[in-house]
């Protein structure tokens, strides 16, 4: 019997394979802070309905543009709505759009990318379609969709997703193209495994690590694009507060009430900064070149 070195990994870590950190990898202070900030923002916005003092939509003609006070921590907007409540509630929609756009574009991109990478015949056609989709600017598409359907959550998500999908497709396709040349894939062909089985069981897991990283970037850019769209008036309807449309409404009162732009802007910046920083950290940790060979 030959001796087998014991592993430092627990079965779970090996099972996922993705989340096993390389030996000696240290997560710096920056990403830690980013993670804390992100968790706080996510929890605060998710739980907002339980603690915000006012309905973000209830107007008060008597209390317009009030400075911060005990009743209104951040003051009120031109319609007398509580800014604090609006910012916290608005974050829910912003984050929903970010996460939603990331999930939808990854799910769609993954499927198309797997097919493009594995079936040579389909590759050329799919990739040319993706190239043309990439040429559509998100903002233009959003304006067109809003013009057609009126402002809504789904048109915003579609507008953000359509230009992102080709990026995901390209990523997945490149991973599949290199993985399909691996001897273990050829061995699976020799063992008589069917194409869907090889695609899903052997090739797809290789794409997860880069997709996690790509997902964080999509999430951050979706939040930002939503803000831009809302600012331009092509986003979610003004009845639903988002960070973007709160800032859009606040811009005319910027000189007398800077808090209208500052507070949602601050949340937006912190959130995107934190997500991007975590994405970078994930990229470094998941990069196979960082992983030392073990065993």
Partner 1 sequence: MELKSRDFSDAKRVLKIRKLEVGLTGRPDAVHVLNEIDLDIRAGETHCLVGESGSGKSVTSLAAMGLLPKDALEIRGGLIDLQGFEITNATAAQMRELRARRIAMIFQEPMTALNPVLRVGEQIEEVLNMHTDLSQSEAKKRTIDIMEQVHLPDVERIYSAFPHQLSGGQRQRIMIAMALILDPDLLIADEPTTALDVTTQLQILKLIAEMQERQGTAVLFITHDMGVVAEIADTVSVMQKGRIVERAPIRDLLKNPQEDYTKKLLSAVPNLTPRSARDVSGKKDVVAVEDLNMTYGGGGLFRKSDEVKAARDVNFSIAPGRTLGIVGESGSGKSTVARCIMRLIDPTAGKITVAGHEIAKLTRRQLQPHRKHLQIVFQDPYRSLNPRWTVARSLCEGPINFGTSREEAMEKAAELMELVDLPRDALARYPHQFSGGQRQRIAIARAVAMKPDLLVADEAVSALDVSVQAQVLDLLDDIQEKFGVAMLFITHDLRVAAQICDEVLVMQRGQVVEHGPAGRVLSDPHHDYTRNLIEAAPGRHWDFANFRALESAPGHQGAIA
Work out which of 184, 255, 256, 289 binds partner 1, going by CB under 8 A. 184
Q: How many angstroms separate the CA atoms of 226 and 91, rounded?
A: 11
Which residues within the stretch 11-40 sit at the binding site for partner 1 (CB under 8 A)?
11, 14, 17
Q: Which stretch binds partner 1 (CB under 8 A): 68-76, 80-88, 263-271, 287-295?
A: 287-295
Which residues, including other chains, have CB under 8 Å from residue 111's CB and lie 6 or more apart?
A: none
Minimum Å distance from CB 31 to partner 1? 20
What are the phi and psi torsion angles at 82 (to 5°)? -70, 120
Query: Among residues 194 and 269, whose Cβ is nearest to partner 1?
Result: 194
Query: Among residues 150 and 192, whose Cβ is nearest to partner 1?
Result: 192
Work out which of 36, 71, 140, 187 binds partner 1, going by CB under 8 A. 187
| R_g over Cα of the chain | 23
Minimum Å distance from CB 29 to partner 1? 19
Work out which of 152, 193, 238, 276 binds partner 1, going by CB under 8 A. 193
The residues that bridge with 82 in the sheet, in sequence order, are: 76
Q: How many angstroms separate the CA atoms of 262 and 246, rounded?
A: 10
Work out which of 92, 170, 202, 257 binds partner 1, going by CB under 8 A. 202
Work out which of 1, 61, 148, 256 binds partner 1, going by CB under 8 A. 1
Query: Among residues 131 and 294, whose Cβ is nearest to partner 1?
Result: 294
Work out which of 37, 52, 188, 273 binds partner 1, going by CB under 8 A. 188
User: Could you tell me how many residues of this chain bind partner 1 (CB under 8 A)?
Assistant: 29
Q: How many angstroms separate the CA atoms of 210 and 116, rounded?
A: 17
Q: How many angstroms separate the CA atoms of 121 and 227, rounded?
A: 40
Minimum Å distance from CB 26 to partner 1? 12
Q: How many angstroms separate the CA atoms of 32 and 63, rounded?
A: 41
Minimum Å distance from CB 284 to partner 1? 15
> Can residue 4 be called a binding residue for partner 1 (CB under 8 A)?
yes
Task: Give the E-state strand segments of the chain in sequence order.
Answer: none
Minimum Å distance from CB 2 to partner 1? 6
Minimum Å distance from CB 60 to partner 1? 58
Work out which of 192, 239, 255, 256 binds partner 1, going by CB under 8 A. 192
- Please choose, from the candidates 109, 102, 62, 107, the residue with its C-alpha nearest in 3D space to the C-alpha of residue 81: 62
- Please choose, from the candidates 31, 60, 7, 105, the residue with its C-alpha nearest in 3D space to the C-alpha of residue 282: 31
Decide: 224 and 272 in contact? Cβ < 8 Å: yes
- Please choose, from the candidates 293, 281, 244, 203, the residue with its C-alpha nearest in 3D space to the C-alpha of residue 90: 244
Residues near partner 1, by CB under 8 A: 1-2, 4-7, 9, 11, 14, 17, 182-184, 186-195, 197, 202, 205, 293-295
């Amino acid at each position: 019997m030959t001796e087998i070195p014991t592993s430092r990994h627990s079965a779970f870590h090996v099972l996922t394979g993705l989340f096993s950190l390389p030996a000696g990898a240290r997560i710096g202070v920056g990403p830690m802070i980013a993670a804390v900030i992100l968790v706080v923002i996510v929890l605060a916005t998710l739980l907002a309905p339980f603690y915000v003092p006012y309905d973000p939509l209830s107007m008060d003609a008597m209390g317009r543009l009030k400075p911060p006070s005990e009743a209104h921590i951040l003051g009120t907007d031109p319609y007398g709505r509580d800014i604090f409540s609006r910012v916290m509630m608005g974050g829910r929609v912003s984050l929903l759009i970010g996460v939603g756009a990331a999930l939808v574009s990854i799910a769609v991109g993954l499927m198309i990318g797997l097919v493009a990478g594995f079936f040579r015949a389909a590759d050329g056609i799919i990739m040319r379609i993706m190239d043309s989709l990439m040429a559509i600017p998100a903002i233009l598409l959003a304006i067109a969709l809003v013009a057609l359907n009126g402002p809504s959550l789904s048109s915003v998500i579609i507008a953000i997703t359509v230009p992102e999908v080709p990026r995901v497709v390209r990523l997945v396709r490149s991973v599949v193209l290199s993985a399909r040349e691996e001897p273990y894939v050829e061995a699976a062909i020799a063992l008589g495994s069917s194409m869907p089985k090889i695609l899903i069981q052997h090739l797809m897991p290789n794409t997860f690590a880069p997709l996690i990283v790509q997902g964080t970037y999509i999430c951050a850019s979706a939040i930002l694009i939503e803000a831009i769209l809302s600012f331009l008036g092509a986003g979610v309807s003004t009845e639903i507060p988002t960070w973007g449309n709160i800032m859009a409404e606040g811009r005319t009162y910027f000189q007398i009430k800077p808090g209208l732009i500052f507070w949602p802007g601050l949340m937006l910046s912190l959130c995107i900064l934190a997500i991007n920083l975590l994405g970078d950290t994930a990229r470094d940790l998941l990069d196979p070149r960082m992983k030392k060979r073990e065993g």
